[in-house]
Amino acid sequence: MNMIPFDEEKEKKEIVNRYRALLRFTEGKADNSDKKMIRTAFNLALDAHAGVRRKSGEPYILHPIEVAIIVAKEIGLGATSIAAALIHDVVEDSDYTLEDIDRLFGEKVAKIIDGLTKISGVFDQNVSAQAENFRKMLLTISDDIRVILIKLADRLHNMRTMDDMPSHKQLKIASETLYLYAPLAHRLGLYNIKTELEDLSLKYTEPEVYRDIILKLKESKADEMKYLKRFSQKIRDDLNREGFDFLIKERTKSVYSIRKKMVNQGISFDEVYDKFAIRIIINTPPEREKSDCWKVYSIVTDSYRPSPDRLRDWVSAPKSNGYESLHTTVMGPEGHWVEVQIRTQRMDDKAERGYAAHWKYKEDSSSDEKLERWIERIRELLESPEQSAVDFVDNFKLDLFSDEIFVFTPKGDMKILPKGATPLDFSFEIHTEVGLKTLGTKVNGKLVSLNYKLKSGDQVEIITSNKYKPKEEWLNYVVSARAKSKIKSALREEKKVVADQGRATLERKMNFIKVRLTDSLVQKMLNHFNIKTPQELYYKVGNGVIDNRHLREFTKSDNRGIYSYIKSKFKRSAKQDVIEAKKEKTTATKLVFGTKEDELAYSLAKCCNPIPGDSVFGFITSTEGLKVHRNNCPNAVSLQSRYAARTIKAKWVQADRDKFVAEIVIKGIDTVGLVNKVTQILSNNLNVNIRGINITADEGLFEGIITMEIEDKLHLDKVIENLGKVEGIESISREYKKI
């Protein structure tokens, strides 16, 4: 293979030219000591990267220079960041150490380089390792956000220069960029960088789609730009007449945003109606910013009709990433919709440079409350040690990608939440303890469900109770990373409590059959149930996943058990016919117990009136012998959890038909002749003997209890099915009584 010779003189000239370009972007922002630091950093980078080339063949030193230019020009950072950008790869790629950096540039630059070095391999390993490294990267935000800003500049330059890489690497880097770096740039308010990262990512992830959109944009751009010039001329004339100092930019929608709209709305390129837009930037004093933006809006909408549902006011309520602007879409000549953005010069700087632009307008950059609040949120997420790294990244991404809504407390304080947020998200935004104790919520004075979708402008009141605890389903009700993280943490704590209760329950059950819960017995249980840890075993016992049936199977296989005790104590004799006196009996009906289906003396619990066909279990009472309950009896959970060792498997065996008493509750809308229809169906059609019927009506609604004799559950199901067809009956349920 022939090597292409390098023109060293030409390369040296290029390096010097790029370095001079960098210095031009520092003019007015760097004093002599700053310039000396930048020069020292440049010389150090030259030495560290001497003879090293990129995949494209160009000298490696051009990469840190270009990253430094992005840092200076596009993000607007100062000399410390520029110097750090120039030497960001030095410690990793050469013999220079952090101690050398500290000695030459001081502690600040050394800390930034340390942060950049730690996160240099964020995406070079498997998924969970990537996630863990990303977590480390965000840890650096707590120390100095400039680490992330320089990292974004580094990623942007890499994306701009990927053409010489193998396609599989292009796809990998582009996918990672779309996954985290673009939304991170968006969250930090770096709109231009976010847009370019998205467009460049699409270039490599969907090259054909990218080329197609670029081609179509070029074809239509000339005509569209002529149209926009005509469209904006009227606005220019009106703004000049009103004495505004302004600039109007005609702009094209980004390739990625056009593609996103095509996919989301299922439309073609030609059907994307707002591919082109204008931005009006006004120079106005800080105290008049808001009023002047609305004056410009009024001027625009005097000439062109606005779409009422396309107004976005981020001037009165800026986005959480600091973005401020007034957006509207208006109908221009010839029936074309045009998006109009209205903002001040300060707002435009901030939209393009994000929080870095804040430092131009504020003496103390740390006073930016929204950025501090967001960083504090990251710290909170990072402080959850139990959370897996992959879960962390997923939760973090929720906040990165979210659009926002603005809602209010009862006192009128505004809270910013992700789009799609619920009152439960709001409660965790107020305070973790408020979220964990949420019992109910009111939105605009009305009670709503916890998964109600909030809208901008809603006023939310949280009703709390000290007795209330988070539930697993809450994770389906929230969208914010904060709420998800806090709920998961609380559930983990609750799981520990359940596991402790489960251990106590298991010990009690074993004591009941005179067996000690030793480590060797626990190990046997782990093997039997195929469970890895004792904690998981106790948790499954505590929440009922491992119930009496499972434990009986285990104890039987282990030559121990309570079944023999139950069988001997309640073995049915010829004289024990307690149950028969409760029935109007014609022939015997069998209810059998345990795995061997023995007949034992029993009586039916009055709280749930079990009938043949119901799923049932036996419970050994202290005074009344063996009682039979339905599995869905309201007392079942209490009995099976508190007295699990005294329960026994039971089931009905097919036999001749007996009559059993059942009660049903019917509810619905009161209609003429309802009672007649019900009694006709029961007596004439289904041959049911009605023992009692009691129906009351109030304000057009009725509720009734019907007591009747039926043969078994199949018979009762048929009764319920036929009654369900009666007009006006909305619900039918079995009657229960609490003991």
User: Residues with catalytic annotation?
Assistant: 92-93
CA 519 from chain centre, in angstroms, equals: 40
- What own/partner pairs with CB < 8 Å and gap ≥ 24 does 581-587 have? 583/658, 583/659, 583/660, 584/658, 584/659, 584/709, 585/658, 586/656, 586/657, 586/658, 587/655, 587/656, 587/658
Question: How do 616-620 and 647-653 pair as beta strands?
Answer: antiparallel
CA distance 49 to 14: 16
Count CA within 13 A, CB hemisphere, residue 418: 23
> Which residues are CB-contacts of 716 (< 8 A; sequence separation ≥ 6)?
611, 613, 662, 664, 710
Are the beta carbons of 408 and 414 closer than 8 angstroms? Answer: yes
Instruction: For 366-499, list the strands marked E by DSSP.
Output: 404-408, 414-418, 438-443, 446-448, 460-464
Q: Find, among 573, 639, 629, the residue nearest to 603 by Cα.
A: 629
Q: What is the largest CA-CA distance in the chain?
A: 114
Give bridge partners of residue 630 from the DSSP assignment: 616
**Strands 626-630 and 603-604: what pairing?**
parallel
149: closest CA among 177, 116, 101? 116
DSSP element (H, E) containing 326: strand 326-331
Residue entry with tokens 């009055």: 606
With vertex at residue 510, the alpha carbon angle to CA 505 and CA 516, rounded to the nearest 5 degrees, is: 115
Tally the C-alpha atoms within 13 A of residue 181's C-alpha that lie toward its C-beta: 30
State the Cα–Cα distance between residues 622 and 135, nearest whole angstrom.
57
Phi, psi (deg, nearest 5) at residue 266: 60, 45
Question: 106: alpha, beta or left, given left = phi > 0 and alpha = psi -120 to 50?
Answer: left
> Cβ–Cβ contacts within 10 Å for residue 267, how many?
12
